[in-house]
Every structure is written in structure tokens, then in C-alpha cells.
Structure 1
Amino acid sequence: MTRTVYLNGDYLPETEAKVSIFDRGFLMSDGVYEVTSVLGGKLIDFAGHCARLGRSLSELGMAAPCSDAELLAIHRELVTLNDITDGMIYLQVTRGNPGDRDFAYPPADTKPTLVLFTQNKPGLADAPAAKTGWKVISVADERWGRRDIKTTQLLYPSMAKMMAKAAHVDDAWFVEDGMVTEGTSNNAYIVKGNRIITRALSHDILHGITRAAVLRFAAEAQMEVEERNFTIAEAQQADEAFVTSASAFVMPVVEIDGAAVGTGAVGHLVPRLREIYLEEMAKAAI
């Protein structure tokens, strides 16, 4: 079935949606994005994604294309038009089309480009990998320094995904100055006893919306949370490990660079954390 997508005020068949070759998102990766999960036809943590979108736009000096209320209406309409029960909605805002290529930003009144489309993922919350866990490798973190801004500059994460694929594993964890920063499209954690350890927020990592919710739920469940750097060697000696993202939710990691984490099988704390997250997010979905 041909999807209906949203482009600058219009709902169109995906085959008819066109963006100018002069759009700065195409020429300069001058854009930001968000991905919101849909479970049971409802949006997961929409307010969090809107807040981070606003921050990303502000950090890059880009104008918001519309209000949060208008974005919510667009999301809901796309869910309806594409009959999405479980899946994702991708949103991208670029600095727009200045009419030619130039490193300088276009005039402030240049209209931003706003694109949204759906991805149908039946059974999104029931991924088999949640029961078996992911295997990851470590790679050098060679991304730009402002990883806290959710830009469309995703070439190196894409390259790292392919490194993982070539190694026959599920993902890669970035390492900088000997310390784990995050996964290619997720935040990274290790577990020692009842303590969850993850890198503190800074320009070095994406300020994950799922991360914020998971750490809040963990604290409410009397789990300890410690925000600090950790090495691959420490991760390999952990009891459990996991990642979080808007589409993977809470995903166990059972092997890092060929070394088993804990018993090499999914442990007890991470599945419980995933269960809590999905239960609470389903209650709050809109």
C-alpha cells in the first residue's frame, strides 16, 4: 500500500512528495529529526519528543515550522491515514530551500521544510531480540562534537551499523578517550547488582527521551542510578547491559566485543525495566 506522507502542509502519496535539490537538508544535512513510536495506535512520549525537537531547533538557530499542537494533529492524522497500530513516525525539519547552494544560512524568513512519514511495524513491542539480547562491538567515536543535537548527520552511525553487520552482530558502541559514549542510535548502560550505570548528559551523547523515562522509572522502582563514564572492559564484567531508544525501548545486550556479559543470556533486571517502561508508556500514550 502506498503511504500517505506529510510535506509542508499537504498530505500526499509518498510517490508524489518532492523536495527541492536546493533544500539545505539535502545539501548540508542542515536539519533535525525525531522518531516517535506508536503502540496500539497511540503516540509514545510525544511531549518529550516535541521538547527535544524544540531544543535541537534552538541550538541550530532554526525556526519551528509549526506549534506542538499542530504537530500532534499531523501525527494523529498520519496514524489514521496509514492505519498504523504499531510503528513509528519520522519527522524532519530542515532550514529550507534558499534557491541555491551557499554555506551561509539563508535569510531568516526562509520557510523551513517539514516532512513526516510513517513506518508500519506490527508487534513493535514484542521484538524477539528482547528475549535473546543483542551482541555489540566497539568502534571509535568519530562523530562531530554536538551529539546532543539530533541532526540528520547520520553517515558515521550508518557506517558503524555496517561495521556491526560485517561482524555479524546487532549494533556498535562508540568509544572516545577509552570510554563508551553511546550506541549508533541508542543510549548505552551497564548493570552492577541493583545499580544502573550510564554516561551523564553532555554534548557527547544524545539526550534520549527513552533514557529519561527509563531512568525515572528505575529510580521509582528503587533501582540505583549512577551517571558516569565506563569502559568496554567494565561493561564486559557487568552483570547485565542494555540500550534504550524510541524504537528498541529497553533492549538487553548479552555480548560486547565477543565477551559474554554476565551469563551471556538475558538477565533479570533489564527485562523487568523493559516491562515497567512499556506498561507506564502505554498508560501515558496519547
Structure 2
Amino acid sequence: MSRIVYVNGEYLPEGEAKVSIFDRGFLMADGIYEVTSVLEGKLVDFEGHVLRLQRSLSELDMASPVDMDELLTIHRELVARNELDEGGVYLQITRGAPADRDFVFPDPAETPSTIVMFTQSKNLANAPSVQTGISVISIEDLRWGRRDIKTVQLLYPSMGKMMAKKAGADDAWLVEDGFVTEGTSNNAYIVKGGKIITRQLSNDILHGITRAAVLRFASEAQMEVEERLFSIEEAQQADEAFITSATTFVQPVVKIDGETVGTGTPGPVAMRLREIYLDESRKAAI
């Protein structure tokens, strides 16, 4: 069955989906995106993703081509049409396709925003890497300063993942002024003496929807959380390390720059948080 995608109000077979060569998402990376996970055919943390989408639109002074209630309808329709049980729905909104290339923003009254959405089938809940943990390398954080906006400017994170692959690792943690900001597509954490440590929110990192949920669940489970800076050296000496994102949920990290973290196996705090997150997300999914 051909995958059905959504483009500017139409549901189409993926082979028939097209956007203009003048679309600013293509020419300028002038766009934002969200990825909402799907478990058992239901959307996880949908409200959080929509609220962050609205914030990204506002920060970039970009118009939304649909209202937020319509987004839920489209998400559900794509999940149904593609018979998606587990995976994700990718959503991208750009500033649209003006008549020609120009650095100046087009008038939104004349150039409507572009919206595209598609599903991706993926094993999320029982990914094999959860049982073994992943390894990361550290690289310099060379991204722009507004990482809190979820833009489609993903070249450097992609380069970071390729650097990790070349080094025989699974991913990379980005470092700025001696401290970890986040992973290439995830938030980063360490555990010391049972305490969960992660960088505080600012323009320097993405305000992760899964991050917010995991920290809330951790507090409800009487786990201690400290939001502060930490270095690669501190992370290597921690008891545990892990990442969170919409598609990895809670993923243990067992090696950093070749140094084993803790016992070198997924730690109890990360695994417990993953269990709680999956249980609570399944209950609240819509």
C-alpha cells in the first residue's frame, strides 16, 4: 500500500506529493516541524507538541495554515489511512512559496504557509538498543543561537550523527563553553547518587516535550531532579546517563567518548523512567 501523505489540504499518495521549488523551507530552511509519536494507533503528548508548534510559529512570526483542532483531525486521519500502529507523524510548516527567491519574508496575505505531514512506521516501545544502551561522542555545538525554536535547520545535527557513525558510536552530545547542551536530536541527562541532572531550559536547548513529561513523572515518583550545567567529564564519571526524545522516549547511554558510564549497562533510574513514561503515555494517548 502506498503511503498517504498530507500536503496543503490534500491527502495524496506519497509519489504524487509535491511542493514548489520556491518554497522557503527548501531555499532558506525557513520552516518548523514537530514529530508526534504513535503507540497502539494513538498520539502521544499531542497537546504538548501543538503548544510548542504554536510557540515556534510565534517566535518566527509565521502564520499557521490550519488551526490546532484541524491538526488533530489530520493527524488522526493520517494514522487511520496508513494503518499506523506504532511510529510517528511528521509535521512541517514553512513560510510558503513566493513567486521568486528573496531574503525578505513574503507577505503572508499573498503567500500562504506550506504544510506537509506524513507517517513513519517504527519500533518505538521495544527498540533493541534500549536493552544494550547507546554510545555517544562529544562535538562542538556550532548551531545557531535559537535552539529553543524547532526549525528545520538540521544540517549540523545531521553532520553530528555522521561524525558519531564514523567514530563507531550511535550519536553525539553537543558541547558549548565546556558544558553539554543536548544531543543531536534529544535532551541529555546524567544520574549521580540517584539524582537526575539535566541542563536548565533556555534558548540554548530545545524545550523537549518528552523532557517535560519525564521530569514531571520523575518528581511524582519522588526522584530528585536538578537542572544545571554538566560537562562531558562529569558525565563520564556519573552512575548513569540517558537521553529523551519523542521517538526514543528514555534511552540509556552507556559510553561517552569511549569511556564506560557506570556499569556499562542500562541503569535502573533510566529504565524505571522509561517504564513509567510508557505506562503513563499509553494511558493518556489520544
Q: Which secondary structure does the structure 2 equivalent of 1:101 belong to?
A: coil
Structure 2: 5+ residue stretches without partners: none
Instruction: Provide Cα deviations, 1:55-88, integer angstroms capped at 9, x if missing partner.
Output: 0000000011111110000000000100100011
Task: Note the 1:1-286 alignment, pairs <5 A.
Answer: 1-109=1-109, 110-121=111-122, 123-286=123-286
The letter for the 1-side match of 2:103 is: F
Letter in structure 2 aligned against 1:153 = Q
**Mapped partners of 1:200, 1:124: distance in 2:** 27
Q: Which amino acid aligns with 1:196?
A: I
Q: How many pairs were matched up? A: 285
Distance in 2 (CA, whole Å) between partners of 1:128 and 1:183 is 20
- What is the alpha-carbon distance in structure 2 between the residues aligned to residue 45 and residue 193 of structure 1? 30
In the aligned structure 1, how far is the partner of 2:266 from the partner of 2:60? 40
* Structure 2 residue identity aligned to 1:136: V
TM-score normalised according to structure 1 size = 0.99
SS of 2:115's equivalent? strand
TM superposition shift of 1:92? 0.1
Whole-angstrom CA distance in 1 between matches of 2:47 and 2:113: 21
Q: Letter of the 1:262 partner, please give it.
A: G
Taking every aligned residue pair, what percent have the same amino acid on both sides?
A: 71
Q: Structure 2 CA distance, aligned partners of 1:49 and 1:213?
A: 12
- The amino acid across from 1:141 in the alignment is D
Code of the aligned partner of 1:115: V
Q: CA RMSD in A?
A: 0.6
Q: Distance in 2 between matches of 1:112 and 1:131?
A: 42
* 4+ runs deviating over 3 angstroms: none
| CA distance in 2: counterparts of 1:271 and 1:108, whole angstroms | 46
CA distance in 1, matches of 2:38, 2:68: 17
Shift of 1:265: 1.1
* AA in 2 matched with 1:51: L
Deviation larger for 21-30 or 263-272: 263-272
Aligned-pair CA distance for 1:108: 2.5
Q: Distance in 2 between matches of 1:159 and 1:165?
A: 10
Letter of the aligned partner of 1:190 in structure 2?
A: I
Distance 2:196 2:48 in 1: 22
Which string of whole-angstrom CA distances, capped at 9 and with x for unpartnered residues, describes residues 165-202 of structure 1? 00111100000000000000000000012210000000
CA–CA distance in structure 1, aligned partners of residues 139 and 41 of structure 2: 37
5+ residue gaps, structure 1, are none
Partner Cα distance (1:111, 1:11) in 2? 18
